[in-house]
Structure 1
Amino acid sequence: MSKAGTVHVIGAGLAGLAAAIRLVEAGRRVAVYEQAPQAGGRCRSFHDATLGRSIDNGSHMVLSGNRELLGYARRTGGGDALEELRPAAFPFLDLRTGAAWTLRPGGLWLFDPARRVPGSRPLDYLASLRCLTARRGQSVADCLSPDGALFEPLWRPLAVSALNGPVERVSARLFGAVLRETLLRGEAACRPVLAPRGLSAAFVDPALARLRAAGAALNLGARVEGLTFEDGRVTGFSAGGNAVTLGALDSVVLAAPAWVAARLVPGLAVPPPGPAIVNLHVRLDGPVRLPGGLPFVGLVGGTAEWLFARDDLLSVTVSDADALADLPAEEIAARLWTEVAPHLRLGGAIPPFRVVKERRATPDQSPESVARRPGARTRWSNLTLAGDWTETGLPATLEAAVRSGNRAAEATLSNGNNPIRRSRVFPAFTSFRHRPIWTDGGAVLARPGPEGQSKKRG
């Protein structure tokens, strides 16, 4: 290990874990502090006693174009817990009419009516390019006409779920970044990537194991308070009631939520919290087939944006959900179940369920709030920032969190004239498994070859 000092990473969400992994790969001593009793932040799994199952605190759509997120998973060993679905396909269901279709991007897909939204034309999709050249203050609705053929069946649900806010408020530039890194890069960047054993198995537990193997100190249940500043640098803080004094070569990566960072760092401008995200998890009597034949389906014309199936668990995700989150869990479950159950041929009373309300699920992503995002570096020489609320050029997603952690680590290392080098601690890891799936009208026709099949998971 290097004698360049210890880097104290405050926050063990995905941004903090990504920063810590980069730092130990570069040979730095690392200590991680997390006020919760477990790592992962908003990207984690937990056992729910009511369902008798492990569930994710929120459902996340990961795509093969999320290069830094998937690179992080490969380097930590979490790639083995991920499965890529090929070719790229996105089933949708209109809850009002029951109409179903599957978007299949890639190649000359815009010229094939069977791979587009029904009734749409190739020119309708080109209208999305306006988001790539949007002005700073423009919202998605400013760039994409609500009267357009794709606004309700495609652009609205995608924008609301990607940016967790109404299209009249969220940044067109951020939505353009999503399109630039996925749809506009072709089919290879649009493949859904699933975590059948849950988010922790892919993105949290392997990272913790690698950090422990590298000798990093992991302090869970250690709330950080009272950062002290002197001579342009952080000199100490309290963690779990214990004083931590920084040496001359020590650094801090602050990877806490935006509102925590604003409390700890004087004068730090951060974006305000955004809306809640609500997830309903239901345990069925057995597996259920979703419209389109894949483990997820986009929803149009109802309360929710996405429906996910994993074995006997059904998960419904609602973004921009402040009004819904104010309701009792029983009322939320009844409303969502009433909307989706008839389309899955599920009748009767709702089975055992769990409602997870994630308030302040993301920072606000209006153009005004995006302008408040800080960069990784601060005016204190040994303090860098990480989090999906910092300036990454992306919406507040798992990809943005990892990207911010990587950038904070790079800034920390460059401060100490210790550039990131290829790790000698960890070997190279194989990529996550791919799972070829060919569909015809949504029906699964084949899963060829043993390597394309998913392994049985708990």
Structure 2
Amino acid sequence: MQGAVHIVGAGLSGLAAAARLVEAGRPVIVHEASGHAGGRCRSYRDPQLGMTVDNGNHLALSGNGAALAYLDLVGGRSAVVEHASAEFPFIDIAAGTRWTLHINQGRLPWWLLVPRRRVPDSRIVDYPAILRLLSARRDAKVSDVLRCEGPLYERLWRPILLAALNIDPKEADAAMAARVLRETFGLGGGACKPVVAEGGLSKAFVDPALKYLGERGGVVRFNRRLHRLAYEENRVAGLVFDGDVTPLGPKDQVILAVPPKPATDLVPALDAPVEHRGIANIHFRVDRPVGGPRVVGVVNGLADWIFVYPDRISVTVSGTDLSHMGRRDLAYRIWSEVEQVVGFDLATSPNEPPPWQVVRERRATFAATPAAARRRSRTRTEFRNLLVAGDWTDTGLPACIEGAIRSGDAASRVAIEASR
């Protein structure tokens, strides 16, 4: 008889692990400390806006194979929209310049030969310098191998890497940056098409997974905060929750799929990044559909990316939670930039934004520095029935949807192999 797999944490890494395990016929019990699943990738009903919004904007790409395979498995693929081509509109607010990055389908970057498809004020000879990242030494920062200035950097590499790494690219681990570029630009436009959950993250990534688990006998228990692990020699023998202990049988396994701080609190010897970066997301309710691009990159503004939906506009500021700014000042400042980007006034009265909400995440992602790269945990631990998952583990990628799901897939594979 196969033992059960207890998964602690119902974020994307935990849900991905659970889905793969029930697919393989393993008994699964998911324990989630909060009253909802999805972790940092979910939707919620906001009373101030009177609508459902995402806690943060997450953009997947068509080359994110693990994420798309997960959506196919749990039945969430129909809830995302994949853009027809790899097009990314940008605006430099300071200069008033607009352009669209249009990457051709194949691996060879033919788009560089067309001046109007290149970044304004950049030259074709500027682009090969990015290849230095691919051979950077271990522990190198992006600024050690790449000249972090000039039109091409400021208008392309900085916004792309900032979005992917959630840290000033100058400080970022060069190997992580190179991994991102290999799996996107390096594969051509076919891997770079935006994939957007226009109806909300939960409808695509969370709700279908919970349904998939329930239909296959998986159990998800909410409001179950794990206080400690009970050990017996080199294995976990029990899970200690509020008021009760769940004993583990000799064949039972545990996948710890929680953020790095709770993980190291539970397993002090575990390696994990200790430094984090924040993200600020500002949501605006608009009462009529907005035409034009669905995703716009912003250069020389406070906003970094603007996501335009039929009923709302959501703005992301990466690498900081902007805690030094008041909520109202932040909303008004961001809205002034949104008006420049969309090109017409959506507010109900002059100089007033539509209903807004500010969501700050102080510890949104681990800081993707060389120091953090050295501290990322492997899937296996020193305890034979304890595995770890999470976008902070050693996936090679920065904290992102793809990394979270890859980590869950890796933990499920190890759990299945160990039970054979």
Q: Is the shorter-chain TM-score for this pair beyond 0.5, marking a shared fold?
A: yes
Which residue pairs with 2:405 in the alignment? 402
Which of these residues, 217, 220, 223, is aligned with residue 222 of structure 2? 220
Which residue pairs with 2:77 in the alignment? 79
Which residue pairs with 2:25 in the alignment? 27
C-alpha contact 1:92 1:299 (8 A) present in aligned 2: yes
C-alpha contact 2:89 2:297 (8 A) present in aligned 1: yes
CA distance in structure 2 between the aligned counterparts of 1:262 and 1:356, rounded to whole angstroms: 26
Secondary structure class of the residue paired with 1:311: coil
Normalising by the residue count of structure 2, what TM-score does the alignment of the two structures yield?
0.95
Which residue pairs with 1:150 in the alignment? 152
CA distance in structure 2 between the aligned counterparts of 1:51 and 1:325, rounded to whole angstroms: 21
**Matching of residue 365 in structure 1 with residue 368 in structure 2:** yes
After TM superposition, give the deviation of residue 123 of structure 1 in Å: 2.5
C-alpha contact 1:144 1:151 (8 A) present in aligned 2: no
**Matching of residue 236 in structure 1 with residue 238 in structure 2:** yes
Structure 2 stretches lacking a partner, 5+ long? none
Secondary structure class of the residue paired with 1:158: helix
CA distance in structure 2 between the aligned counterparts of 1:62 and 1:93, rounded to whole angstroms: 21
C-alpha contact 1:277 1:358 (8 A) present in aligned 2: yes
After TM superposition, give the deviation of residue 350 of structure 1 in Å: 1.3
C-alpha contact 1:165 1:274 (8 A) present in aligned 2: no
One-letter amino acid of the structure 2 residue matched with residue 241 of structure 1: G
Which residue pairs with 1:382 in the alignment? 385
The one-character-per-residue Cα deviations of 1:206-261 (angstroms, maximum 9, x if unpaired) are 00001001111110111111101111000011234321000000000000111000
One-letter amino acid of the structure 2 residue matched with residue 409 of structure 1: S
CA distance in structure 2 between the aligned counterparts of 1:331 and 1:239, rounded to whole angstroms: 42
C-alpha contact 2:279 2:318 (8 A) present in aligned 1: yes
Secondary structure class of the residue paired with 1:104: strand
Secondary structure class of the residue paired with 2:238: strand
C-alpha contact 2:275 2:372 (8 A) present in aligned 1: no
Percent identity, aligned pairs only? Answer: 46
One-letter amino acid of the structure 1 residue matched with residue 320 of structure 2: A
**Matching of residue 192 in structure 1 with residue 194 in structure 2:** yes
C-alpha contact 1:124 1:149 (8 A) present in aligned 2: no
How many residue pairs get matched? 411
One-letter amino acid of the structure 1 residue matched with residue 131 of structure 2: L
The one-character-per-residue Cα deviations of 1:174-194 (angstroms, maximum 9, x if unpaired) are 111111001110111011111
After TM superposition, give the deviation of residue 143 of structure 1 in Å: 2.1
C-alpha contact 1:276 1:325 (8 A) present in aligned 2: no
CA distance in structure 1 between the aligned counterparts of 2:152 and 2:37, rounded to whole angstroms: 39
Secondary structure class of the residue paired with 2:22: helix
One-letter amino acid of the structure 2 residue matched with residue 313 of structure 1: R
Alignment of 1:340-359 (within 5 A): 340-344=338-342, 345-346=344-345, 347-359=350-362
Which residue pairs with 1:121 in the alignment? 123
One-letter amino acid of the structure 1 residue matched with residue 187 of structure 2: R
Structure 1 stretches lacking a partner, 5+ long? 418-458
Secondary structure class of the residue paired with 2:169: coil
The one-character-per-residue Cα deviations of 1:156-200 (angstroms, maximum 9, x if unpaired) are 111111111112211111111111001110111011111111110
One-letter amino acid of the structure 1 residue matched with residue 148 of structure 2: P
CA distance in structure 2 between the aligned counterparts of 1:143 and 1:159, rounded to whole angstroms: 14
Alignment of 1:38-437 (within 5 A): 38-106=36-104, 107=106, 108-289=110-291, 293-322=292-321, 324-344=322-342, 345-346=344-345, 347-417=350-420
Secondary structure class of the residue paired with 2:363: coil
One-letter amino acid of the structure 1 residue matched with residue 48 of structure 2: T
Normalising by the residue count of structure 1, what TM-score does the alignment of the two structures yield?
0.88
Worse overlay, 335-344 or 206-215: 335-344
Q: CA RMSD in A?
A: 1.3
CA distance in structure 1 between the aligned counterparts of 2:316 and 2:147, rounded to whole angstroms: 25
Secondary structure class of the residue paired with 1:282: strand
